[in-house]
A and B are shown apart, each in its own frame.
Chain A
């Protein structure tokens, strides 16, 4: 059978989206525009101030580029998880459980949205522009390549875990949405702009600081204003792996709970 069944499912999704090219182009454009507006907002702030949380415009744009690329990739890969609350509420999850495949993989592949490449494009362009000032070392090359991927995995895991709230709460959607879109906003700025409590949450609880802030420190080589040891800024892949473990556990517990609740 060669081609994996998921490849076939995703290909069928993409074909159906490309069936209406004008509407698809408009979708991509609106994604591009949405993401660019956020970048514009940062640039507007820097017409009024010279630094944000102790970081220069170039550094903040680097953080933003890393975060936007990670967010775009994660959104492309697992954005469909935001449909989970509906699957649970309507009992549509039953249909996935009746197929000889993993329910999560089916959920994620069920409605991949190719228009989300718009966000990835903005992120990559911004990132490329921000990286032109980096003094390159072999280690920094690795960080520049790995950080957006690790960030995407980390965000994906956080979103999956957050959407699993719906297994327990009838109206879990709002919680999940605030984590998903909150993580976009929160990871796009240096964490030094936030108060100490939010900073601690982003380092240790929902580890968004590992998406862009710490990798950006690794790329610029500047000392951490918060005084974390240097090793921390290279830990994003480890944190992402740990978060994947957490998400897998939460998902599995959630499905068991669903099988225990019924519809």
Chain B
């Protein structure tokens, strides 16, 4: 097992005599080669859990072993065997060219890294900006650099905390394709937190949903979808207020807003298509505008609660 936790718990003192439990009794095992999406709303305890797994935070109770090591007591040994990217925090040297940051990383880990670097440079298309100081990189370029730095020492476990936050679509897609390839080759075990469901769909077969510090769901993504529908939504703005557009084929839920001017029609991709739903609506009411909404992590979590 790469990650093994048992009853992992963390409380914080937020004010005098006031304790908040950020993570409560998280028991989790991740085998080598798995790719796990770690989901949950803001403040759910994702980052706290990751910090306990990487030795940055001491658990209040419970225990964790990562790569067979005690994360806090064997922090440095563990650091050699894992790669971590916190999306909002840089591990690169902002005033050095990217390639010098990589050279320092290689020196810090005391490993030959040129093969891995060449591979990352090619797959992530970084040749053009290798000589550019990190502070001049775009967010997308920098994030590719961060992921590369985290991989140079060939870690067994790669932990990515919101790696695609703030990236444009093209950058997100490039990063996802790279990580998907890495996972498919079994090159690394991946633990990924994100708010971006497409990240998870592309990369992870297994999903752990955490909310208010507790594990809500730990299951196959496919099984999760089957259980909770994985609803997409067509949002229609109508020319005239209309009563709820119930009874459309394949639509299992209708929410009405603005007195019937805007309606949200939820459907499962297995049952029908967005085009069919829109066509069905157009037969019953005059449309002004249409949007198709992918299910968000938040709505998934809401569904989990409701169910």
Complex Cα gap A3–B106 (Å): 13
**Chain B residue at minimal CB-CB distance from A3:** B107
CB of B292 within 8 Å of the partner chain: no
| Contact flags A202-229 to B (C-beta < 8 A → 1, else 0) | 0000000000000000000000000000
Number of interface residues of A (CB under 8 A): 22
Q: Which residues of A contact B (CB under 8 A)?
A: 1, 3, 5, 8-9, 12, 16, 91-92, 94-95, 97-102, 256, 259-262
Pick 23 A–B contacts, CB within 8 A, sort by A.
Answer: A3-B107, A5-B107, A8-B103, A8-B107, A12-B93, A16-B95, A16-B96, A91-B89, A94-B86, A94-B89, A97-B55, A98-B79, A99-B91, A100-B80, A100-B108, A101-B76, A101-B108, A256-B58, A259-B55, A262-B10, A262-B12, A262-B48, A262-B51
**Chain B residue at minimal CB-CB distance from A261:** B12
- Contact yes or no, A92 B89, CB < 8 A: yes
* Nearest 9 A/B pairs, CB to CB: A100-B79, A100-B76, A5-B107, A259-B58, A100-B80, A16-B95, A97-B56, A98-B84, A94-B56
- The prevalent SS among residues of B at the interface is mixed
**Chain B residue at minimal CB-CB distance from A19:** B95
- Contact yes or no, B107 A262, CB < 8 A: no
Complex Cα gap A240–B55 (Å): 32
Chain B residues near A92: list those with CB within 8 A: 89
Q: Name the contact of A95 in the complex, choosing from B55, B58, B77, B91 (C-beta under 8 A).
A: B91
- The prevalent SS among residues of A at the interface is helix
Chain A residues near B90: list those with CB within 8 A: 95
Q: Please give the distance in Å from B192's CB to the nearest CB on chain A.
A: 17
Chain A residues near B48: list those with CB within 8 A: 262
Chain B residues near A259: list those with CB within 8 A: 55-58, 72
Chain B residues near A8: list those with CB within 8 A: 103-104, 107
Q: Please give the distance in Å from B154's CB to the nearest CB on chain A.
A: 14
CB of B302 within 8 Å of the partner chain: no
CB of B54 within 8 Å of the partner chain: yes
CB of B100 within 8 Å of the partner chain: yes
CB of B110 within 8 Å of the partner chain: yes
Complex Cα gap A95–B83 (Å): 11
Chain B residues near A16: list those with CB within 8 A: 95-96
Interface set, chain B 64-100, CB cutoff 8 A to A: 72, 75-77, 79-80, 84, 86, 89-91, 93, 95-96, 100
